[in-house]
Structure 1
Amino acid sequence: MTRRIPFEGIENFRDFGGYDTACGRGLRRGLLYRSGHHGAATDADLQKLTELGLSVVVDLRRPNERERFPHRAWPTGPEPVVITSDAEQEHSQEWLDFIQESDLSAASFRDYMTNYYRTAPLDPRYVDLYRRYFEALASTDGAILVHCAAGKDRTGVICALTHHIAGVADEDIRADYLATNDPVRAAARADMIKGFIHETTGRMPEDGVIRYIVGVEPEFLDEAFAAIRRAHGSLDGYLEEAIGLTADQREQIRGRLLG
């Protein structure tokens, strides 16, 4: 089953529906989309987006990220509601600051990402964005697209939580998260990323660094879920206590998403 949807200027665009669920009804296709940012979207990409029936777009990026790569205006028809946050993160070092200060070893990038996953789900900024995402998921009639910069880390966690609510099996939750690891995409971006790091720092990164910038590791999602469980006992406890998701909202989400 092909979930990846090709775009000219939007990376990592996928339908994250279509999985079996514990209740047997299955997750519907055409309602849940995830991607990287749309700052480089072509005219053809924008037209393609309008054909997906999007009601809501959730942009998880920080304000400075949105300023660097602003989205282009919707070409025709009613624009979807766009959910963003102007708040800054509280607990995570700025990515560009880290690159400049790093020794550019693969180990340092892995440690950065591990710490990021350990703190991001509990950061008030993402708690607020995740809450508004789930509120929209419970109430909107159309499709929802969630994205960050690369569509892999912040987006990966929120998609995994969505799958958990729907009753998707753990192995499928992990498989969807790891689908970001496209070797063709990684190879295409490697030289550009190395060039950017060299331009920014005057140094070249170790070869192993690229995998952590472009891809994801199963241990990262495990780290996020472990942090959630330490703070709230379980994923369901986090969704109830931190996100504020009610039993009625969960049923509304399942009613919309399940076949």
Structure 2
Amino acid sequence: MENRVLPLSGIHNFRDYGGYRARGGTLRTGHLWRSGHHFDATPDDLEAVHRIGIARVIDLRGDSERAQFPCLRHEEWAGQVVFHPGETAGDHGKAVHDEAAAGVRTADDARYAMVKLYDKLPFRPVLVGTFKLYLQTLAADHGPSLLHCFAGKDRTGVGAAIVHRLLGVHADDVMADYLLTNTAGNSEARIAAAATNVRASFGPKMTDDALRTIMSVQPEFLDSAFAAMEREHGRFEAYAEAVLGADAALVARLEERLVV
């Protein structure tokens, strides 16, 4: 699992989420990448990312986040950034984990808040709009893509898991890829970097364990998102088609392009 992680200094949680067994074969490697934002990317980071040849970046952040934390790109990069305009987090300029941190004091508070957050993520209009563009982008033959949000764990985690589920990746592998956030690269640096914003808003009111829970991923978080999809639509596939436009034709195009 760790071999799929690209170790970088200023971009956290950068990794390949291909390579898993899927329906009819194996997901291609080197074509599906995910990460946190690139606001703090170093020149060496940008060079390493440039060598991958990413053609499309799907940015799950909101407009305010993009304005406050503009991503750095290699000077020779000529790809396209894809997003639906608007806000994907409730508090403008903040990531969704910042939003969940409101009122949190203990680790139990944090777990409850994150489960509640994930219950709503699959239905946020602007996030849904970008998820639709994400699937359409993957279904077209553009080349390698990168999916990211702020920390690369919540909105990105749900997005990557949606693609895995659509392509028949085993539930254990879907969860394993999601949980890899907790150990991918320098997880302590990732927590410290994102915690700055959380501490700025909530400071000493939040315990260290609560902060770590907010900045981690846990199985019950992702389970909450898929349970919400099934609660509203009966089956994940029905949610994907009705909400994300992932009908049989689009899924077939995803399989043709991404499964070998």
Deviation at 1:46, TM superposition (A): 1.3
Distance 2:48 2:185 in 1: 22
The AA in structure 2 aligned to 1:231 is: E
Map 1:1-259 onto structure 2 (within 5 A): 2-23=3-24, 25-77=25-77, 79-89=78-88, 96=98, 99=101, 101-182=102-183, 185-188=186-189, 197-259=198-260
Distance 2:128 2:139 in 1: 17
Deviation per CA, 1:211-244: give whole Å up to 9, x if none.
3232100001110000000111111101111111
Does the aligned pair in 2 maintain the 1:38–1:71 contact within 8 Å?
A: yes
Deviation at 1:50, TM superposition (A): 1.6
* Structure 1 gap segments, 5+ residues each: none
Distance 2:192 2:80 in 1: 36
Equivalent residue pairs, number: 256
Aligned to 1:141, the other structure's residue is in SS state coil
The AA in structure 2 aligned to 1:134 is: L
Does the aligned pair in 2 maintain the 1:35–1:146 contact within 8 Å?
A: yes
Deviation per CA, 1:37-77: give whole Å up to 9, x if none.
00011111112222112111001011221122101243115
Aligned to 1:242, the other structure's residue is in SS state helix
Query: What root-mean-square deviation, in Å, do the aligned CA atoms of Structure 1 and Structure 2 show?
Result: 2.4
Normalised TM-score (structure 2):
0.89
Q: Which runs of 4+ in 1 moved over 4 A?
A: 89-99, 189-199
Classify 1:44/1:228 alpha carbon distance in 2 versus 1 (closer, same or farther; 3 Å).
same
Deviation at 1:183, TM superposition (A): 8.1
Does the aligned pair in 1 maintain the 2:55–2:145 contact within 8 Å?
A: yes
The AA in structure 2 aligned to 1:87 is: G
Does the aligned pair in 1 maintain the 2:13–2:184 contact within 8 Å?
A: no
The AA in structure 1 aligned to 2:235 is: S
Normalised TM-score (structure 1):
0.89
The AA in structure 2 aligned to 1:152 is: K
Deviation at 1:201, TM superposition (A): 4.0
Q: Percent identity?
A: 37
Distance 1:133 1:227 in 2: 20
Max radius of gyration: which structure?
1
Distance 2:198 2:131 in 1: 31
Deviation per CA, 1:88-109: give whole Å up to 9, x if none.
248689655664x525222222
Aligned to 2:147, the other structure's residue is in SS state strand
